[in-house]
Amino acid sequence: MTSTVPAVTAPVTAPPTALGTARTRVEGREKITGAARYTGDIPLTSLAHGSLVLSTIARGRIRAVDDAAVRAMPGVVAVLHHLNAPRVRGDYPSIMGMAPDPTVRAFQDDRVPHWGWPVALVVAETPEQARAGADALVVAYEAEPHDTDFSGERTDAFALDGVVPATLAKGDEEAELAASAVVVDASYTTPEEHHNPMEPHAATAYWQDGRLEVLDSNQGASWTAEDLAKAFELEPGTVRVRSEHVGGGFGSKSVRVHQIAAVMAATELQRPVRVAMTRRQMFSLAGYRSPTDQRVRLGADPDGRLRVLSHGSVSQTSSVYAFVEPAAAAGRVLYDAAAHRTSAQVVSLDVPTPTSMRAPGMAPGSFALESALDELAERCGLDPIELRLRNEPSAGPLSGLPFAGRNLRACFEEGARRFGWADRDPRPRVRRDGRWLLGTGTAAATFHAFAVPSTAAVTAWADGTFTVRIAAADIGTGARTALQIVAADALRVAPERVQVRIGDSEFGPAWLAGGSAGTSSWAWAITPAAGELRERLALGVDIPADGLTVRSDSTTALAGQEPAERHSYGAQFAEVAVDPGTGEVRVRRMLGMFAAGRIVNPLTARNQLVGGMVWGISMALHEEAVRDVRSGSLVGADLAGYHVASHADVAHIEADWVDDPMPGDPIGIKGVGEIGVVGAAAAIANAVRHATGVRHRRLPIRPDRVLCGESVDGGPAGESLERGLPGESPDA
């Protein structure tokens, strides 16, 4: 890092900007040829395989672990459980000060807090031997009565703050309701949903030269390394985590029992150990989205202007963790009302611990709120888009803060034009195509936009190329490619000259792939480093053999941001066809028009937005984990029993965006990871209502539920249907 003679290949001419032009993925060729190595694909000499054993009871104590017979099985090298496993801490502050997932404290005591709790790890020479050992291990339990029966009616529900406050309220709800000409008061439920990234969670741990090396599949390498150091009480610099390719995460790929168990076994055996969850194990170990029971009360004047927005949500958590699904939060951004109340409560049950899943809070919350808005529009005789536009707030409904770019109106106007909304006959059950009833629906979407302090290093090499190092994660988002574009733009060179290295905790602290804040947070760090490097090179410095490196930390820059309401927005449109004879619902087409900041790479951003909308179809029609209250376990916990949208479920989805640069952001980024799923299920449910005349307030909209709606009085009968259907909860 000296600066003596002019550089040989300093970049002086700026090529046209790559920002906003479609670019295929940097690692695309590796992924389509099978060369990309995910965690479980990386070979290691003398690797041992760990297989987890999970509890078969939902609450109680472990009486005995009969490990002698298993230890004698061929190839078995260790059996770890609460009587012999290394000690770990689980009481440290993890990301944003929250406690880590409780499965971090696996094998620490004899308590079983839920079905599928990890009770032992069998390590063997081969995967077959480990699995056979795990299958053969006899664990004796002392079962206690359990309670897994979730309901919004439970009297033991309690208010719980999460990353946002449990309750925010203003105005006199009862007085405003009394003054409202039109009132909607309805309950909505969403089921337990599971992330199910295609790549199951896996980690390989080994010790090398006094350092713990962990190959893992996670959403943030530095975060994982920090947590593992805290859990095992190791010096922070002695843990290195690498996570080069990640087969999806959606909120589930944090520090969980697989890394803990792998580290324990690698430490005991002093050889590399890989622990991978099976697909079935993921249903109790990888987190999930809590079921929700929500009540929405809207009161409005005859012209649709809201007097009351009251949205309460009840979700579940485990007996060993306080997690809240903040489903009522969408209303805090979308609409104002004289009386405004949003609240979140939880019920503590003997169930696995839920966690954030793609668009936490907003995905289930928008289903309830945006369905209720649709009901209100009908009662007011107003077009649902017009109703929303009449209720556009000029400042944060509760904060009073200005909006940093709010382009929801533009999304609706452009979306309506492209979708052909103006030709819509609002009457339900009037359009047919053969045996199919057709309907269209719409809904608004929002998701917060933010950036978190991160560090980055950008190095210039003598051959005119550059390397960016940042502990970012590409879980399928296209982050590697987006950051290459961001860096190239700041360096004013062609992207081909920039190599981006991510997924390594050695690169320093950085925000994770989550909260739709990955690209924005990482860009806040990369942009100034690259900019400074460009300026230094412009001065004509010599580039030494080990390169010229500029490091950055965005902490100070981000602290200087003015408070504002920062969010993405979207307008979702869906057209469905419903077969009244079979109850089948098909989504014929969807359009999502988004205001989601400046789009760095349209090719990958569109893919991600459409992917979110596919999640909306999946949530509206398919996904539902069913818990058997007698055993406390899930019924059919695998990809045959838990349906996610497949090829045949996705006919035509289009996602596009309006110009919406984020004020104050160096590049104008907001984030596109989550907004695509928000409002999508509501748009589909609203379309089903339009097609059939039946309002479905309970997800998923299964064929049997559609048929139930059809069977009342030999066909849908408007309001009479809404008082409750056979086999459904009173408010469903």
Partner 1 sequence: MITSDPTASQTAGAIILHVNGEKHALTVDHRTTLLDALRERLDLTGTKKGCDHGQCGACTLLVDGRRSLACLQLAVAAEGREITTIEGVGGSGAGQGAGPGSESGGQGELHPVQQAFLEFDGFQCGYCTPGQICSAIAMIEEHAAGWPSAVTDDVHPEAAPQPLTPEEIRERMSGNLCRCGAYMSIVQAVGYAAGARHTHSGPDEGSAA
* CA angle (479, 483, 486) in 5-degree steps: 140
Q: Minimal distance in Å, beta carbon 514 to partner 1?
A: 15
Structure tokens at 585: 């619902």
Among ligand FES, partner 1, none, partner that 608 touches (CB below 5 to 8 angstroms by kind): partner 1
Q: Minimal distance in Å, beta carbon 645 to ligand FES?
A: 12
The answer to whether 569 and 406 have CB atoms below 8 angstroms apart is: yes
- Print the binding letters for residues 440-479 with ligand FES: x by CB under 6 A, - otherwise: ------------------------------------x---
CB burial string 47-80: b at 16+ within 10 A, e below: bbbbbbbbbbbbbbebeebebeebeebebbbbbb
Residue 35 per-residue DSSP state: -
Q: CB nearest ligand FES: which residue?
A: 198
Q: Residue 198 interacts with ligand FES (CB under 6 A)?
A: yes
Among partner 1, ligand FES, none, partner that 41 touches (CB below 5 to 8 angstroms by kind): partner 1
> Residue from 248, 360, 364, 528 that binds ligand FES (CB under 6 A)?
248
Structure tokens at 572: 């979702």
> Residue from 103, 254, 604, 633 that binds partner 1 (CB under 8 A)?
604
Q: Minimal distance in Å, beta carbon 479 to ligand FES?
A: 14
> Residue from 63, 211, 432, 652 that binds partner 1 (CB under 8 A)?
652
Of 182 and 637, which has the nearer Cβ to partner 1?
Answer: 637
> Residue from 50, 495, 611, 716 that binds partner 1 (CB under 8 A)?
611
Among ligand FES, partner 1, none, partner that 250 touches (CB below 5 to 8 angstroms by kind): partner 1
Among partner 1, ligand FES, none, partner that 603 touches (CB below 5 to 8 angstroms by kind): partner 1
* Window 187 to 226, contacts with partner 1 (CB under 8 A): 196-200
Contacts of 358 (CB under 8 A, 6+ apart): 195, 250, 251, 612, 615, 673, 674, 677
Residue whose structure tokens are 């009840």: 314
CA distance 324 to 305: 31
Three-state secondary structure along 337-384?
Answer: CCEEEEEEEEEEECCCCCCCCCCCCHHHHHHHHHHHHHHHHHHHCCCH
Q: Minimal distance in Å, beta carbon 705 to partner 1?
A: 23
Of 476 and 583, which has the nearer Cβ to ligand FES?
Answer: 476
Q: Minimal distance in Å, beta carbon 135 to partner 1?
A: 11
Q: Choose, from 674, 710, 719, 728, the residue flagged as catalytic.
A: 674
Residue type for 508, please?
Answer: G
Q: Residue 32 interacts with partner 1 (CB under 8 A)?
A: yes
Among partner 1, ligand FES, none, partner that 421 touches (CB below 5 to 8 angstroms by kind): none
Q: Residue 73 interacts with partner 1 (CB under 8 A)?
A: no
The answer to whether 446 and 708 have CB atoms below 8 angstroms apart is: no
CA distance 607 to 593: 14
Of 221 and 408, which has the nearer Cβ to partner 1?
Answer: 221
Q: What is the DSSP string of 487-542?
A: HHHHHTS-GGGEEEE-SBGGG-----S-TT-HHHHHHHHHHHHHHHHHHHHHTT--
Structure tokens at 491: 């360096």
Is 584 annotated as catalytic? no
The answer to whether 118 and 53 have CB atoms below 8 angstroms apart is: yes
Q: How many CA atoms lie less than 13 Å away from 281 in the CB half-sphere?
A: 24
Element (H, E) at 463: none
Among partner 1, ligand FES, none, partner that 720 touches (CB below 5 to 8 angstroms by kind): none
Q: Residue 612 interacts with ligand FES (CB under 6 A)?
A: no
Q: What is the DSSP string of 529-593?
A: HHHHHHHHHHTT----TT-EEEEEE-HHHHHTPPP-B-EEEEEEEEEEEE-TTT--EEEEEEEEE
Among ligand FES, partner 1, none, partner that 42 touches (CB below 5 to 8 angstroms by kind): partner 1
Element (H, E) at 166: none
Q: Are strands 567-578 and 60-66 parallel, antiparallel or unpaired?
A: unpaired
Q: Residue 466 interacts with partner 1 (CB under 8 A)?
A: no
Q: Minimal distance in Å, beta carbon 125 to ligand FES?
A: 23
**Nearest of 81, 85, 88, 42 to residue 64 by alpha carbon:** 81
Q: Minimal distance in Å, beta carbon 474 to partner 1?
A: 8
Residue whose structure tokens are 């290459």: 484
Of 415 and 476, which has the nearer Cβ to ligand FES?
Answer: 476
> Residue from 91, 128, 174, 233 that binds partner 1 (CB under 8 A)?
128
Q: Minimal distance in Å, beta carbon 608 to ligand FES?
A: 11
* Window 39 to 68, contacts with partner 1 (CB under 8 A): 40-43, 45-47
Residues annotated as part of the active site: 674
Could you list the residues that contact ligand FES (CB under 6 A)? 198, 248, 476
Footprint of partner 1 (CB under 8 A): 24-25, 27-38, 40-43, 45-47, 74-75, 125-129, 132, 196-200, 244-248, 250, 278-279, 475-478, 499, 603-604, 607-608, 610-615, 618, 638-640, 644-648, 650-653
